[in-house]
Amino acid sequence: MKLYCDPMEFAEEILEDIETEIETLGLAKIPNPLKSPNQCFVSDEHRVSLRVNYRYLQETISQNKSVPSLELAGPRPYIYFDPSKVKAGIVTCGGLCPGINDVIRSIVMTLYYSYGVDKIIGFKYGLQGFIPNYGHPIVELTPEVVKDIHAMGGTFLGTSRGHQPIEEIVDTLERLNIQILFMIGGDGTFRAATKITEEIKKRGLKIAVVAIPKTIDNDIWLVSKTFGFDTAVEMACEAIRCAHTEAIAVPYGIGLVKLMGRHSGFIAAAATLATKEVNFCLVPEIDFDLEGPNGFLAELERRLVSRKHAVIVVAEGAGQKYVRKDPPEYDASGNIKLGDIGKFLKEKIEAYFKERKIDVVIRYIDPSYIIRSVPANVEDRIYCGFLGQYAVHAAMAGKTGLMISYLNEQFVHIPLKEAIKKRKQINLKSRFWLSVLESTGQREMKNSL
């Protein structure tokens, strides 16, 4: 579904800079063992055009230029690796997200049943699992081991944050005779995967690195929608409905819900559209003033006076200018630690209305860890299955340094070095964001308009 996350909308200015060719380890000569009579093989010549707007398309055609296109994902008629000899590894990194176990299960099942690969291992606790000093055991993965993990939240393999020595990671791949590495993670994981690919290439090794994009925030560039996002929105809607119920139960009731979204407010915005009960949606992409005649607090007062209740949804990365620490603090992955905008807003709202002698009742809900820890819903579960399957098809064909993406309603291969160039954020000129504003009725909360 492209409604809320098409990263190419209004992005024609960067299209010509995108490299789309996928690296391969060598010529694929082994006939694909897939025997299904309905199996549809694809070739590297099957391409998917990047989604572009009409003006860009017309200009491109008039200048006799070609529209950038991406390699279509899917099984190839010939593969690079001998299934009887190949050994694959899987690692999950970063924060939790609904659907990780579904992807792990899909990879294992496709390797085992579709290609006959029976040597599959999992690395425990993210990139730490490659480093001998941590002493984390490896896990042998078989269909019997993973058959029920999709019913569990979190990650069966465990995870961790933080950088690890790339040379030691590749040493472990060599020592364990791994030919394929599947990395499930987000932006930080992709940067590590890019460096691992470069180190493998420098050593002249034949190891394929294939990444599956994982972020609950849906902020990975060149991906229409990341897995777990639909589940996150569904769970966020439950929190918003509870906040609304609490708000309307008392005079001057305020429901305040903080949702995940460090740099991009897709969860907050999509949940706002889905519930129709939100009056203010605050996201990292939009600056807002707190005080003043056109600030947030004054707008909230006008809403309460007219309707006697209000529901506010705020993404965790919104309004950081008010809660940013100086000097900044960083987590193990090098990300700036966010200030607690939810708690800050609650305190500011209470103080503002106390000064005006208006007795407000605030119900503050932060469901972040509940949202990211639950099993995937039906739609995400199906999506995760496809991602795992397409990752295996790409790896067995000898492709490397790529991310499996869903873009323009097709599964495609994206070079990792392109996926990490920028972060996807809400396009404030898009129909999606305008729909959010129409749903909430909120105005631009800035004093200098």
CA 167 from chain center: how many Å? 27
Closest CA to 408 of 18, 58, 53, 23: 53
Alpha carbon separation from 298 to 133, 154, 277, 304, 333 (Å, rounded): 56, 41, 20, 10, 38
One DSSP character per residue, 79-101 reads ESS-TTT--EEEEE-SS--TTHH
Q: Give Cα 326 distance to the centre of its chain.
A: 29
Token couple for 254: 């305020």
Check if 217 is active-site: yes
Among the options 6, 102, 187, 217, which is catalytic?
217
Return the closest-CA partner of residue 23 out of 416, 319, 293, 300.
416
d(CA 287, CA 320): 9
| SS3 category, 123 | strand
- Cβ atoms of 359 and 252 closer than 8 Å: yes
Q: Is the dihedral of CA 413, 415, 420, 425 positive or negative?
A: negative
Distance CA 71, CA 46 (A): 6
Token pair, residue 223, equals 């991906």
Cα(126)–Cα(183) distance, integer angstroms: 9
Strand ranges (DSSP E) for 157-290? 180-185, 208-213, 253-259, 280-282
User: CB–CB of 74/41 below 8 Å?
Assistant: yes
For residue 423, the 8-state DSSP code is: B
Across the strands, what pairs with 255? 311, 363
User: Buried b / exposed e across 265-296, counting CB within 10 Å, b at 16+?
Assistant: bbbbbbbbbbbebbbbbbbbbbebbbeeebbb
How many angstroms separate the CA atoms of 143 and 133, rounded? 30
Single-letter amino acid, residue 115: Y
Residues recognised as catalytic: 217
